[in-house]
Amino acid sequence: MKRLVSLLFVIVLYSCSSVRVHYDYEKAVDFTSYTTYNYFSDLNTGLGELDTKRLLKSLDIVLQSKGMLFSEEPDFYINIESDLYHAVHNNTAGLGVGGTGNSVGGGISVGIPIGKTKNRREIIFNFVDYKKDVLFWEAVSIDTYKENQTPAQREMHIQTIVNKVLNKYPPKGKRK
């Protein structure tokens, strides 16, 4: 019952999420041939150690629910990178001063940002074919990053990101 409540909470959180995800993949790839995975040994996610553990745990849960197995000799490796940045203000208020007279004109205008700067986090998920050493699938998630989250909130947010990222994996592409 507790798992059902947690799952419903994740679904509700997922449905009103501000996470945006962009996908790209090789169209010619047969995704059914990828059944085992692992992470690059030099994985440096750019996240804190605890958030990295949360992210990998969430990835394991979702991938295994899709029938994939963690393996020491995988079909593909996963690389994860992230970056924090400040969102550019889209809203500004303008002030202007100008004058004219006797065929002389001039003016000054200043845009003043409205609102608070938002921190954004971009996480890039790359799936690389082990034998060919070729990237075959990529997802880039962008979301609002809040520093003051509790551990439970961080875990739920990371689960939301992973669910949204892997929602379209494997893509409805070529099947053999």
| Per-residue pLDDT band at 10 (split at 50, 70, 90) | very low
Terminus-to-terminus CA distance in the chain, angstroms?
Answer: 40
Query: Do the strands 104-113 and 92-101 form a parallel or antiparallel pair, or are they unpaired?
Result: antiparallel
In this prediction the pTM is 0.73
What's the rounded mean pLDDT across residues 118-145? 93
Q: Which CATH class is domain 15-88+117-166?
A: alpha beta
**pLDDT tens per residue, range 76-88:** 999 999 998 766 6
Q: Which two tokens stand for residue 115?
A: 């609102």
Handedness of CA 97, 100, 104, 105 (dihedral sign): positive
Most confident of 94-103, 139-148, 157-166: 157-166
The span from the CA of 95 to the CA of 154, in Å, is 41
What's the rounded mean pLDDT across residues 51-79? 97
Residue listed under structure tokens 């075959």:
136
Greater confidence, 148 or 95?
148
Pairing type for strands 76-86 and 36-39 reads: parallel
Higher per-residue pLDDT: 102 or 75: 75
pLDDT digits (tens, 9 = 90+) for 85-120: 766 656 666 555 666 666 555 566 666 666 666 788
- The CA-atom distances, in angstroms, between 35 and each of 120, 129, 133, 159, 167 are 33, 11, 16, 22, 17
Q: In the predicted model, is pLDDT for residue 17 greater than 60?
A: no
What's the pLDDT at 114? Answer: 63
Confidence of residue 147 (pLDDT cuts 50, 70, 90): confident
Per-residue pLDDT for 142 more than 60? yes
> Of the candidates 127, 166, 138, 74, which has an alpha carbon nearest to the alpha carbon of residue 158?
166
Greater confidence (109 vs 65) lies with: 65
Q: How confident is the model at residue 173 (pLDDT cuts 50, 70, 90)?
A: low
Q: Residues 131-142: what's their mean pLDDT?
A: 96
Q: Is the Cβ–Cβ distance between 100 and 63 less than 8 Å? A: no
